[in-house]
Amino acid sequence: MDIELICLLVMLAVFLLANLLVKLPVSFSMVLGAIAGALVGGQGIPLRHLFEGTFTYLDTILIISAAMLFMTVIQESGALEALNAIIVTRFYKKPALMLILLMLMIMFPGMITGSSTAAVLSAGALVAPVLLLIGIPKEKTGAILAMGAIMGMAAPPINIPALLIAGGVDMPYIGFEGPLFFITIPCAIIAVLILGLKHCKNLDIEKLKGELNLEIGKKYGIRLYLPIFVLIVLLVVSKLVPSLPQLGTALIFLISAAVGIFTGRRFNVWEKALSAMETTIPVLGKLMGVGMFIQVLTLVGARGWIVVSCLSLGTVMLYVFACTIMPGFGAISSYGAASVMGVPFLLVLLQAGGHNDIVLCCMLSFLCCLGDLMPPTALAGNYAAQIVGLKYRPVLTKCVIPFLICLILGLLCMIFSGSLSFLTA
């Protein structure tokens, strides 16, 4: 057995043992896995590498932190409650349309932060009561949140696995919007309708109205939505007119959050900000742990080994593996899946010919994103279950059918990426 494979197995084993048996947090388990790998790989305890790895996702960490503050603000100020009330009162007659709109709301923070966790913890937390209210059972509500968060994470403009894969092959992150919308929007719609539609055929609007906060929207009027408006304008302007002085995504979130403090219900900013950061820190720790884990994988040569091993697969096996290993690697980290497995899969599939590189990259990143449902980390599933007050197993069970549908659609898009190249224009 190659030494690289032994390193990989040791790292995974230590990680899983620490996480599942000793019940350490995922981030600490990753640190232990990384240290074990370095020791087996003959690198001692490479402090420098361990530290350096944690800085890999510094930008992402800043963005997620700022986005969480923003979501806390619009949650506390009442903007999201008001939005929910509008959606339910306007669309209760067309439950399918309503569910789709709610799904898009769950997706939104994921779309702009590229993080499923941000989506579940922010918009998900707000939409969950509405879904429960209209009669969707807890486990299915959790499943909708988890699926929505994952679709949001994969949807443009920010899809971090796609960025990682594209970066790995020197492909500019341009033209990804089309294919990513093409796969995520239908999958999101299918998922939410499968899970929710039969429960909200006949809605009693009067009963619903009693549970909704109809007042807050009237009390503050249009200014309640100002932070969301500021956020969208700043994000769009910075995309459209890049030559303007740039604020950066993290600062844009902070500015919008600052605006939100004054546009709605008053709340204790310090306390809410602290508690928002407290829920986020495990996620940030996970990102740091992943960076460390992959840095050590690279250092001991296991990353190169995985890549080269994948090169020897035939085309059919390659598709099979793309559908199993890419999401499967999400058990450790979907970002890790993209940066370790995404690049070689892309290169080898492209070599088979007839493919469009951008569509292929998008679909591979989509498969990586699905990994956020994979236990034991199951980022999206974990937090969704937490919100509806369940363990994550019943929630994940409900996710199985939509998950498989997504997987099949993603695979089909991969196989026929050549004929989808019009999407990248």
Residue 288 tokens read as 């740091």
User: Which one among 16, 214, 269, 401 touches another protein, defined by CB under 8 A?
Assistant: 16
Region of residue 344 (phi > 0: left; psi between -120 and 50: alpha; otherwise: beta)? alpha
What's the CA gap between 30 and 12, in Å, rounded?
9
- The nearest distance, CB 401 to another protein, in angstroms, is 17
- The nearest distance, CB 344 to another protein, in angstroms, is 8
Binding status of residue 218 toward another protein by CB under 8 A: no
User: Smaller CB distance to another protein: residue 305 or 416?
Assistant: 305
Q: What DSSP string runs through 339-390?
A: IIIIHHHHHHHHHTSS--HHHHHHHHHHHHHHGGGSTTT-HHHHHHHHHHTS
User: Smaller CB distance to another protein: residue 172 or 222?
Assistant: 172
- The nearest distance, CB 248 to another protein, in angstroms, is 6
User: Which one among 167, 258, 273, 409 touches another protein, defined by CB under 8 A?
Assistant: 167
* Window 169 to 208, contacts with another protein (CB under 8 A): 172-174
What's the CA gap between 76 and 79, in Å, rounded?
8
User: Smaller CB distance to another protein: residue 397 or 419?
Assistant: 397
For residue 389, give the amino acid letter. Answer: G
Residue 218 tokens read as 């009237």
Q: CA angle, corner 360, sides to 418 and 241, nearest 5? A: 100
Binding status of residue 52 toward another protein by CB under 8 A: yes
Angle, helices 177-196 vs 138-154, to 10°: value is 180
By rule CB under 8 A, what string of x and - marks binding of each residue 290-309 to another protein? -x--xxx-xxxx-xxxxxxx
How many positions of this chain bind another protein (CB under 8 A)? 71
User: Smaller CB distance to another protein: residue 267 or 305?
Assistant: 305
Residue 123 tokens read as 């918009």
Rounded to an integer, what is the distance from CA 224 to the centroid of its chain?
A: 27
- The nearest distance, CB 210 to another protein, in angstroms, is 37
- Half-sphere exposure of residue 410: CA atoms within 13 angstroms, side-chain side: 29
- The nearest distance, CB 355 to another protein, in angstroms, is 15
Binding status of residue 268 toward another protein by CB under 8 A: no
Binding status of residue 9 toward another protein by CB under 8 A: yes
Q: If you search the block for the tokens 């995404």, which residue do you land on?
A: 342
Binding status of residue 329 toward another protein by CB under 8 A: yes
* Window 226 to 255, contacts with another protein (CB under 8 A): 238, 242-244, 246, 248
- The nearest distance, CB 155 to another protein, in angstroms, is 18
- The nearest distance, CB 162 to another protein, in angstroms, is 11
* Window 273 to 292, contacts with another protein (CB under 8 A): 291
Q: If you search the block for the tokens 């350096």, which residue do you land on?
A: 52
User: Which one among 147, 195, 325, 387 touches another protein, defined by CB under 8 A?
Assistant: 325
* Window 22 to 51, contacts with another protein (CB under 8 A): 41-42, 47-51
150 touches 402 (CB < 8 A): no
Binding status of residue 409 toward another protein by CB under 8 A: no
- The nearest distance, CB 348 to another protein, in angstroms, is 8
User: Smaller CB distance to another protein: residue 324 or 419?
Assistant: 324
What's the CA gap between 187 and 351, in Å, rounded?
28
- The nearest distance, CB 222 to another protein, in angstroms, is 30
Residue 208 tokens read as 């619903």
Binding status of residue 90 toward another protein by CB under 8 A: no
Handedness of CA 369, 255, 77, 272 (dihedral sign): positive
User: Smaller CB distance to another protein: residue 55 or 422?
Assistant: 55
- The nearest distance, CB 34 to another protein, in angstroms, is 11
Which helix (DSSP H) or strand (DSSP E) does residue 155 occupy?
Answer: none
For residue 161, give the amino acid letter. Answer: P
Binding status of residue 391 toward another protein by CB under 8 A: yes
Question: Using CB under 8 A, which of the segments 67-75, 90-98, 193-201, 341-349 binds another protein?
Answer: 341-349
* Window 360 to 389, contacts with another protein (CB under 8 A): 374-376
377 touches 332 (CB < 8 A): yes
Per the document, the length of the chain is 425
Residue 368 tokens read as 């990586």
- The nearest distance, CB 224 to another protein, in angstroms, is 29
Nearest CA to 130 out of 106, 107, 114, 151 is that of: 106
User: What 3-state DSSP class applies to 145?
Assistant: helix
